[in-house]
Structure 1
Amino acid sequence: MKVQLNYNSYNQPIGSPVSDWSTREYPSKNMLEGMYCRLEKVESSKHVEALYQVYGPESKAKNWTYLPLNPFESKVAFLSYLETISRSQDPFHYAIIDKASGKALGTLALMRINAEQGSIEVGFVIYSDALKKTRIATEAQYLLACYALDDLGYRRYEWKCDALNEPSRKAALRLGFTFEGIFRNALVYKGRNRDTAWFSIIDSEWPQVKMRVESWLEPTNFTAEGEQKRRLHEFLVQK
């Protein structure tokens, strides 16, 4: 897409004007409702039992390789963690609830919130094996993006991950994020280096990305057994 350049009085190229901009609000909604799932602000007493199955010692060790956390060895320690994140405003944590079963299957959060500049990130994406590669997982991401970009009016929606985390990188691209590059030696975690891969969706791109995800999520795109008829990448974004 060709970018229309603007010039100042010195004939220097400058960014496009942003009119009527104001600081955005911080996330505050306790529930986001979808067709297949809902996002509920994490509550320790409400979600501890189901989420301990996701975060606890029964979870697969390989699921935690690229996460800043390790599985919790006791429910007492996990409950303390849940109580802490339930009070946090940044990150603002949600539990992902399967509407059919009423069970929490994972979590995700809005974080690194720059309300003044309109930038916000989705992170702390921790899924149970039952949630991975399901329409609920996709809808959960869709609901959070809608909240950030439509309801709160942020200009930039970010996704970051370890550059070696291939499943996360593929998920970002599948959902419509644009790869922006790699920050080398960005972090040290778990005693090792992390180069960080950056992705984003900006406000001007979101309407087309949103329409594509909505088309994929339509019940008519799934068989009676829940199998997708068309993959998300088959719903092309119009350039």
Structure 2
Amino acid sequence: MVREYVERLRSEALARDAQLRARGIDPYKGTPVDEKPRRRWGARALAALVVLVAVVSVGAYVVFFHGEPDYGMSHGYQVQSDGSLKRPSTPVHQPSAPAELLRFTDDASEIAATHYFEAVAYAWNTGDTQYMRAFSSPDCQFCQKTADDIDRLYEEGGWASGAKFTNVVPHPLGRYSDVENYGEDTYGVRVSFHQLTPDLYAHNAFHASEERDDEVTVLVHWDGQRWAVRELGRDQNTEGSN
């Protein structure tokens, strides 16, 4: 799956590069070919990160099991003969992988960080976690926990619908200082967003979606060929401020 994912990204990137070059734009800098390169990331390094445990997407699932679910209403969903709510049949399309995920540039790290939220929403709304897993590192605790929670929800006969992130804005933080654990080319991007958690149905109980504004820090790592999400958390300088 990962190999197919990378190969598809590579072919899309080559096609887009050719289009940009035909327009006189350097695909690696985003500038006309006769301009000087833009400055790469700032020198300021991101300090220690507090890794997320149950925030953003997982939060909705945790709220479901610890909140007060509704057992008796359809909430606009079709009720099946056994009394359960039918999973919506509205098509949900897999996000298009940006070609920038194969480029080691200043903007690409921000694009990788924000694209992760598209992958998360797609996974919740479909139960298909392969794309999200392929786009994130196996060492990303938050990523793997999120994917496992989604898999468990659908395997147990539940479903989710309507997960969405809007107003997703990246704020680059520079190179991450913990090189020993996260590698040399790992960068922090603080991402602010408006989140609509999904409607959740599991164990014959329903929990309605909720909305909120939030921000988290996404660590993205360049492995020499592509960007992958390495971890999600909160910068210690902002921990507790939300």
TM-score bracket for the superposition, by shorter chain length: under 0.3
Q: Higher relative contact order at CA 8 Å, sep ≥6: structure 1 or structure 2? A: 2
What TM-score, normalized by structure 2, do the two folds share?
0.26
What TM-score, normalized by structure 1, do the two folds share?
0.26
